[in-house]
Every structure is written in structure tokens, then in C-alpha cells.
Amino acid sequence: MTKRVRKAVFPVGGLGTRFLPVTKAMPKEMLPIVDKPLIQYAVEEALEAGIEEIIFVTGRGKAAIEDFFDHSFELRQVLAERGKDFELNTIEFPVLEAGSIVYTRQQEPLGLGHAVWCSRELVGEEPFAILLADDLIMADTPCLKQMVDVFGETGGNVVAVEDVPLEHTDRYGILDVASDDGRLVEIKGLVEKPDPVDAPSTLSIIGRYILLPEIFDYLSDWKKGVGGEIQLTDSMARLIGDKPFHGLRFQGTRFDCGDKAGFFEANIAFALARAELHNQIQSIVDAYATR
């Protein structure tokens, strides 16, 4: 029987250089979309997909993430004394049961593949998810839940995919497609950030993965790829053939919050989706549209 996906790895060690200067003193994963940090959206998505154990691969300067997922006794007490139940509720949610969140550090920024490799002992011998918090997905059914459902049908490895403009293939892991039924894609190859002329397709990997633990055998080589970094995509490419490997065209809208324009677009979209903010934000957007 296929094992359940119980653990999720969140690589959060990145320096966030695209958001300097703000990321000089705060993790990029704590940047807010409306009033919640990016990392909270990703953790909520994981929990809604049935994940029970959260593994953060952090780095220096990321302590705010640990504090965020801990109780804040002072704040709790003050809010309770003042009868601010609504606010109290907002700070309670992301706190998981003691022992269900673990942290390990990526001591050197050697790439995404290396960050994932750092979680090997914590993941052990079971399928696991990886979520990149920069990729924020608005969906009726959380993207990872859609993938867990596919994993239940197909087993093997599953990645979330989306079509990108040809000129953007050098920003993503790109699929070489064996077959495609419009929703599920059978993958026969993967290339990290190819030039548009070399790209085998325009189907790109979005930051959601369900991988089998065999990935760690390949990651252990520490082989460097494009940009001199240890790339997760390169090790995933070596997994192809042994077990099924599928891409899922997920239902939903993905925002690239690692990019300034994408980050602001996400803020507008998520604010518009909030009933209490919708009208106000819509009139601001309209006012700028006519300037």
C-alpha cells in the first residue's frame, strides 16, 4: 500500500535578496499578504492537505519564523484582558501542537537541492511534500490537497505544473512531456532553467512537490547544476523511470511572490477576496486604473 504523505518540508533559508532592503532584518517568508505572512499561507495549505509534521529548513536571521509558530504569552494575555477575542483568534491558529514542528539549518546557501537534502534525517523513509512559500496559490481546493489526491491514485512523484511564456523558461524547472491528458502529465525528463531555445516544453514546475525518499540518494551527491547550485530538479530528473512521475496542472491561481510585481498582485487579489476589504480595495484599484 502507498504510504500517506504526512510530512512537509519548507525550505526557508534563502537570503531574499530580491526584496532587499526589507529582508536585511526579516525573513522574506514573513512578508505579508494582506495581514498574514507568506509562510502562514503555505503552512495552512499543508495542514489542509493532511500534513501532520512540518519541517523548516532555516538559516541565519530566520528566528522570526520560529517565534511566529510559537505561543506569544504576553500578547495572548493582553488581548484576553482587553476582550479582543477576534484578534486573539488570529494569533492562535498557526500554532501547532508541540513536537509537530521541527527546525534544521541549512548552514550554507548551496541551492534548493541542498536545502531539501538537509531534511533527510527528519523525513526518513516515507513520501513527503515540499512547499516553496514564494509560490502562493489561491485555490478552492488547496493545491497540495489536489496533489495528495493524485498521489493517492498514481503513487510515485508528483509536482505542480503550469504553462509559462516561452521567454520565462529560464526561471523554472521545465518538463519534457511523455504524455498529457490536459490535467495529468507523464514526465520523461526535467531541465532546470533552460534557455527558451533549449526548453523541451513551456510546462514549468511550481513550488509544490510530493517526492519519494529515494530523492535523497541522488541529492547526497551534492552535484552542482545551473548557477553553480545544487538543484532539486537535477536529482528529480534522475528519479524518472523507477516510479511514476507526474505533473499536475492544478486548479487555481499562482502568484510569484518572489518577484515584486507578483507580490503586489497577490496582495491585491487576496485583499479583493476578503469580504470586509473588497469594496475599499476595488475603489483604490479603480482610481489608479484611471490615472
Enter the C-alpha cell of residue 145: 490537497
Q: Which of residues 251-290 bind ligand G1P (CB under 6 A)?
A: 258
Enter the C-alpha cell of residue 162: 503550469
Where does residue 63 rank: exposed (0-12), middle (13-18), buried (19+ CB within 10 A)? exposed
Residue closer to ligand G1P (CB basis): 201 or 281: 201
Q: Which of residues 162-191 bind ligand G1P (CB under 6 A)?
A: 172-173
CB of 43: closest distance to ligand G1P in angstroms? 17
Residue closer to ligand G1P (CB basis): 16 or 173: 173
- H helices of 3-123, in order, are 38-48, 63-68, 73-81, 85-92, 112-117, 120-123
Q: Which of 161, 185, 205, 215 binds ligand G1P (CB under 6 A)?
A: 205
Contacts of 81 (CB under 8 A, 6+ apart): none
Q: Which of 8, 38, 51, 112 binds ligand G1P (CB under 6 A)?
A: 112
192 binds ligand G1P (CB under 6 A): yes
Q: Which stretch binds ligand G1P (CB under 6 A): 35-43, 73-81, 201-209, 216-224?
A: 201-209
How many amino acids of this chain bind ligand G1P (CB under 6 A)? Answer: 14
**What CA–CA distance (Å, rounded) separates 130 from 204?**
16
**What CA–CA distance (Å, rounded) separates 151 from 127?**
10
**What CA–CA distance (Å, rounded) separates 101 from 288?**
42
151 binds ligand G1P (CB under 6 A): no
219 binds ligand G1P (CB under 6 A): no
Cis status of the peptide bond prior to 21, with omega within 30 of 0: yes
Q: Which of 27, 156, 194, 207 binds ligand G1P (CB under 6 A)?
A: 207
Contacts of 86 (CB under 8 A, 6+ apart): none
204 binds ligand G1P (CB under 6 A): yes
Residue closer to ligand G1P (CB basis): 29 or 135: 135
Q: By the criterion CB under 6 A, which residues form the site for ligand G1P?
A: 112, 132, 135, 172-173, 192, 204-207, 231-233, 258
